[in-house]
Amino acid sequence: MQLQDILYSQGFGTRRVCAGLIQQGLVQVYPQHGGEMPTTCVESATEFVADGLRFRVQGVDWSYHDKAYIILNKPIATECSQKPSTYPSIYTLLPPPLRQRPQRGAVQGVQAVGRLDQDTTGLLLLTDDGKFIHRMSSPRHHVPKVYEVTLKHPLDDKQVQRLLAGVVLDDDPKPVRAAACEAMSDHCLRLTLTEGKYHQVKRMVAAVSNRVEALHRARIGGLSLPADLAPGQWRWLSAHDLEKLSA
């Protein structure tokens, strides 16, 4: 695969822009068979094996990824929208190449796997893999999502039991049930859901006569939010991480 095509596939701009970066000496490639020092490549048509390739663009190290799978610790007061209305977009927390990765010939970048409200924090997945988005988001796949909920009023056993038994939301006569529900303290609840309706946690809590004061997503599938990933930070998901999502 030509180096300019590799850079294009990773979101570094059009093929012409990528060729320009290479010709200006702004791209270095790490040896594919060991060695730590990258060498500058100025020929945009130079062929490389893309899988496992490590390179440096304008002083920043990157690795080739056929598909992007990202975990982000979403901070409060951010919107999961490319065109936010009130607060900054979560996409501004990502480097430009992730926002510019091409899909089917168009620049679309990574997309959030489902949305979290502007005042909800925690684990957010982003990818350019449409099948992955569908698998993680579709209620038919029953991927559990675990939320830590801070409540306005004291929690009692009756509220927990109602959430487990099912509550009726105003737009759906079919009861919505929590897959798991555990009181962590008088004002804190751990709630597990396998579907993602609009404002579902807030509406379910309201249906049992309480109110959400703060909401944090701690886990999706078997993947927990890393303790060392600070709000606003992101990282690539490893193959082991992706396996956990299906666990």
Residues carrying an active site annotation: 117
Question: How many Å from the N-terminal Cα to the C-terminal Cα in the chain?
Answer: 34
Beta strands in 128-187 (DSSP E): 145-151, 167-169, 172-176, 180-185
User: CB of 40 within 8 A of CB of 25?
Assistant: yes
The full length of the chain comes to 247
| Residue 196, Cβ density class (10 Å: 0-12 exposed, 13-18 middle, ≥19 buried) | middle
Task: Give, as one character, the DSSP assignment of residue 92.
Answer: G
